[in-house]
Amino acid sequence: MRWWKLAWLDLSSFRLTDKGASGGARGNVGHRSDLHGLEKTLKQVQDLHAKFSLLSFCDVLYMAAALALEEMGLSPVPIIYGRLDDEMGDRDEEARPEAPDFEGPEYEKPDGNPGAGNEETEEDKAAEKEEQAEGGDEVEAAPKEKQIKASKAQLTVRLERMSLTDREQVVLVGMYIAMKARSTNPSATISNACLHNFVQGQDRLSDTDRHQQDEIFKGQTSPACSTLMSSKHLQDDVRRLASSNDLFLIEAKALMAKLFALGATFNPQEGIYL
C-alpha cells in the first residue's frame, strides 16, 4: 500500500492539458513535507530508477505502483508511459510559498517527526498561565488550530494540482466521506443531506448517523476535510449538492470520468487509484 500512497500523492504529475509525452513527476513527491513517512519508499523508487536510467522517474514510479497492485490481486491499471520528468528535489520554497511545511515547535513530537504532533510551545504555556491568572479557564488551542489550518492548506493545494474545480473538490470530499462510511459499515446508505451535516459538524443527526460520524472522522485528514468544506467559497456548492441525491450522483459520475481520463481505476474495497 505504501507504493500506492506514493503514486496517489503524485497524481498531480499529470496535467489534463498535457496528457501524452509530457507532464512528468512534478507532483507532491517533489515536496518533502508531503511525504509523511513515505521517504523510504521514495528512496526505493529512486534506487530502482538508477538501474533503469533510460526510463523516466515518473514511469518507474507508476510501473512499481502497477506491479504492487497486481501483487495484491487487484485489477491492472491502464498507464500511459513515455512521460517526461520535471526537475526533482525539494520545491517547497520555490513553487509552493503558501503551502505549510509543518515545521516549528508547535508541530514537533518528542521523536522529532514533523507534522505529527501539536506540542505546546513556551509561548503557549506563558499565554495559558496569564489567562489562568486573569481567571480564565479556557485552554489555549492555537497549536491544534494551526495544524488543522495547515492541513486544510495542504489539502487545498493538492486538489488544485489535480485541476479540480471548487464543485469537484466538494464532490471528491463527499465521495471520500461516503466511501469511509461504507468501509466501516458496508450496508450503510448515507444521504447527501447527512453528508452536509457531517462536514458542517451540525447536530441534526440520528443515533446511527452519530455513530457513523464518529467512525468516519477518526482519520487524521478529517479536520482538514471538515475545515475545507466549511470554507465560505464552497458553501453554495455544498448546499446545492447536499440538497439533491441525483445532482450529487451526476457530479460524482462526471468527476470519476475525469479521473478515469487520467488513467485512474476504482476498486470498491480500496478506492480510487492512478
User: What does the pLDDT look like over 104-140, one tens digit per residue?
Assistant: 444 343 344 433 333 445 655 665 565 555 554 444 4
Mean pLDDT of 15-39: 51
Does any domain span residue 254? yes
Mean pLDDT of 178-186: 54
Angle between helices 142-161 and 222-229 (to 10 degrees): 70
Does any domain span residue 39? yes
Give the per-residue pLDDT at 107: 36
More confident residue, 61 or 208: 61
CA distance linking residue 18 with residue 13, whole number of Å: 10
Give the per-residue pLDDT at 79: 66
Does any domain span residue 271? no
Give the per-residue pLDDT at 36: 60
User: What does the pLDDT look like over 235-255, one tens digit per residue?
Assistant: 777 777 766 666 777 777 777
Provide the residue range defining the domain that includes 222: 164-265
Q: Give how many domains the chain has, as a whole number.
A: 3
How are the residues of the chain apportioned to helix, strand and coil, as percentages rounded to the nearest 5? 60, 0, 40
Same structural domain for residues 79 and 60? yes
Cα–Cα distances (Å) from 274 to 38, 79, 242, in that order, read 17, 8, 27
pLDDT of 98 strictly over 60: no
Give the per-residue pLDDT at 184: 55
**Rounded CA Rg of the chain:** 21
Contact between residue 172 and residue 243 where contact means Cβ atoms under 8 Å apart:
no
More confident residue, 222 or 57: 57
Does any domain span residue 152? no
Same structural domain for residues 119 and 196? no
Same structural domain for residues 93 and 109? no
More confident residue, 268 or 259: 259
Question: pLDDT class for 4, splitting at 50, 70, 90?
Answer: low
Give the per-residue pLDDT at 267: 56
Question: pLDDT class for 3, splitting at 50, 70, 90?
Answer: low
pLDDT of 193 strictly over 80: no
